[in-house]
Structure 1
Amino acid sequence: MSTDDALNLSDIDPPVWRVRVSGADYGPYTLGQMKTFVHEHRVSANSLVAEGETAPFLPAADHSPLRAMFETAGKSQEDAVAEPTNYLIIAKLAGTGQMQLIGALNRLGRFAEVMPGVWALRSKARQARVRDRLQATITSGDQVMIANATTGRLAWLNLGPEADVHIRRIWDAELDETA
């Protein structure tokens, strides 16, 4: 197959979606990437999203291509009590938000600061809820990583698109046998 015959995926799924987080715009992303973000709970029904360069930012659930994902998720699954889960929270706080973050951790379950900026949390809350609660306490200059020590899933806030690419590239990467 020559390069002239190669399938251009951007014709099928163009990167037109943008996401606004704490006043910063990220993207453009494809619809496939947006669906992954929804599945990973990195984009919620209330996240501000625009479809197109000049389109207004609206809640993600107001966009018909994404709406069905939120409708099928169902409240019962989100509100269901999960088994206790262990999390490792790593935060680099630029401002004075440590007390707000500690307050959120206290409402989520039992926690301990194991070293400056690192907390162990045991909670029945799902990782998406932990992320949402912590996001409500931080500013755009703060950075947070949430490692689910029980399942190995990772979430983060305000690390930026470059860090996002690097994390995704290595987190579940295959390793050769010599490593």
Structure 2
Amino acid sequence: MTMQNSADQIDDMAPEAQADAPEDRVLADGHWSLKHGDEIYGPYTFEAMETYIAEGRVAGHSVIAPSGTEDWTEAKDVAMFAGFFDEEKSKVTASTPSHPQDRRTVYGPKKGQVDRRKRPDTSNFLIITDIKSRHGATLEQSIMSLGAALKVANNAWVVNCTGTAPGLLNQLSKVLSSQDGLFIADATRDRTAWYNFGPETDAKIRRVWRRPV
């Protein structure tokens, strides 16, 4: 998916108004700005960004930042959205068969065909927290309300529920402070998302957690 240069892709995105939020706005509020050339668009909620990524209007190389800041970064390098672009890469790989005869397969509802795009209704998640504020009890309530959940350690839960790792991160991080950390692993889809671990830990996680080839 690429961010088209044509104006019709972004005509309905109004240029960003002057932001009145401080630069240390917590990413959990889900509001993001998009920089396209010399224009800045937004702010957009996490859900809106997710839609734009699915539509191809925001690509991995699109430059975004939390609204009210100048922390411009390519979307694929932002932890909350990286999983979406990894997923798109896997789709491209999976849809390019190794054998010529396999290329004749057409996905759809016809008899004898398997729709490989179908996904399970729920996923298995491992959620690990690093709470330094007073929000631990509130966060635990939020985690237990996601679906079938079991607390396996003081700071770890296994959960089966709908959603994605970035989506749960956005939802749960809203109750955290800037002192707290959160790590979510989607064991079903092999995706991860994390919050507030700092650039050094961020880089180490990316090196350690590698998708199988």
The two structures have a TM-score, normalised by structure 2, of 0.47
Q: Which runs of 5+ in 1 are unaligned?
A: 1-19, 26-41, 52-56, 75-80
2:134 to 83, 87, 96: 96
Distance in 2, matches of 1:118 and 1:21, equals 32
2:176 to 135, 138, 153: 138
Distance in 2, matches of 1:117 and 1:90, equals 6
Q: Which residue of 2 aligns with 1:47?
A: 32
- Contact preservation (8 Å) 1:86, 1:149: yes
Note the 1:21-60 alignment, pairs <5 A: 23=24, 46-47=31-32, 59=42
Q: CA deviation at 1:128?
A: 2.4
Give the 4+ runs in structure 1 shifted more than 6 A.
42-45
The structure number with the bigger radius of gyration is: 2
Paired letter, 1:84: T
Q: CA deviation at 1:43?
A: 9.4
Q: CA deviation at 1:93?
A: 0.1
Cα 1:161–1:68, aligned 2, differ >3 Å: closer, same or farther?
Answer: closer
SS at match of 1:83: coil
Paired letter, 2:195: L
Note the 1:117-132 alignment, pairs <5 A: 117-132=155-170
Q: CA deviation at 1:116?
A: 0.9
- Contact preservation (8 Å) 1:87, 1:148: yes
2:153 to 99, 115, 118: 115
Percent of aligned positions with the same letter in both sequences? Answer: 23
Matched, 1:152 2:190: yes
SS at match of 1:169: helix
Q: Between Structure 1 and Structure 2, which shows a larger proportion of strand residues?
A: 1
Q: Which residue of 2 aligns with 1:163?
A: 201
Q: Which residue of 1 aligns with 2:52?
A: 71
Aligned residue pairs total 126
Paired letter, 2:24: G
Deviation readout 1:105-153 (Å, 9 max, x if unpaired): 1331121110110111110122222111111111110011101111221
The two structures have a TM-score, normalised by structure 1, of 0.55
Distance in 2, matches of 1:124 and 1:99, equals 22
Q: CA deviation at 1:71?
A: 3.1
> What is the root-mean-square deviation in Å for CA atoms of aligned residues?
4.0
SS at match of 1:101: helix
- Contact preservation (8 Å) 2:125, 2:158: yes
Cα 1:160–1:48, aligned 2, differ >3 Å: closer, same or farther?
Answer: farther
SS at match of 1:136: helix
